[in-house]
């Protein structure tokens, strides 16, 4: 992100490298917030910690989902082949309050839904006997 900001200051916003960094940021942001954030939200909800902490993590997850849509909307404007994403995110942008409520409800219900449909419990991410999560 810093590299992208430096290129913007130097007025190098129309280069392929600048576009690549924006697309890479959008892809990584979406991966970490939507995919890995779901896993973290699920693990926190399945662990034995206070309910208030679980609610705070679910709320943070919901805010992350809102930002994912915003980042995808900006990214889809830059890449012409993602026009369908732009249409979807534009429609979501017209109903921001409904979408925000949906994200907060989804953030709370995601762990319950995952546990019900996949019949799974706390999920450990391990790398060579080292537990990451």
Q: Name which of 24, 111, 33 is nearest 67 in CA terms.
A: 33
Taking residue 77's Cβ as centre, other Cβ atoms within 10 Å add up to: 14
Residues 6+ apart with CB under 8 A from 61: 37, 38, 40, 41, 107, 110
- Give 117-133 pLDDT, tens digit per residue: 877 776 666 777 776 66
What tokens were used for 85? 């994403």
Q: Tell me the average pLDDT of the chain.
A: 80
pLDDT given at position 25: 84
Asked if 68 contacts 34 with a C-beta cutoff of 8 angstroms, the reply is yes
**pTM passes above 0.95:** no
Asked if 41 contacts 57 with a C-beta cutoff of 8 angstroms, the reply is yes
> Distance between CA atoms of 55 and 8, rounded to whole angstroms?
38
Sign for the CA dihedral angle at 69, 35, 118, 122 comes to negative
- Give 11-56 pLDDT, tens digit per residue: 766 777 777 887 888 888 888 888 888 888 888 888 888 889 888 9
pLDDT given at position 3: 67
Which uninterrupted H or E stretch holds 52? Answer: helix 51-78
Side-chain half-sphere exposure of 41, counting CA atoms within 13 A: 31
Asked if 114 contacts 42 with a C-beta cutoff of 8 angstroms, the reply is yes
Using only the alpha carbons of the chain, give its radius of gyration. 18
Looking at the predicted structure, is the pLDDT value of residue 2 above 70? no
């Amino acid at each position: 992100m810093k590299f992208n900001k430096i290129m913007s200051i130097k007025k190098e916003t129309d280069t392929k490298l600048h576009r690549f960094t924006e697309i890479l940021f959008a892809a990584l942001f979406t991966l970490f917030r939507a995919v890995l954030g779901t896993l973290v939200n699920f693990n926190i909800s399945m662990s034995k910690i206070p309910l208030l902490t679980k609610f705070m993590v679910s709320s943070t997850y919901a805010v992350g989902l809102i930002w994912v849509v915003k980042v995808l909307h900006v990214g889809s404007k830059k890449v012409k082949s993602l026009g369908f994403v732009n249409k979807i995110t534009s429609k979501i942008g017209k109903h921001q309050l409904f979408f925000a409520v949906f994200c907060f409800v989804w953030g709370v219900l995601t762990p319950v839904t995952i546990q019900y449909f996949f019949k799974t419990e706390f999920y450990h991410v391990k790398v060579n006997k080292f537990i990451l999560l």
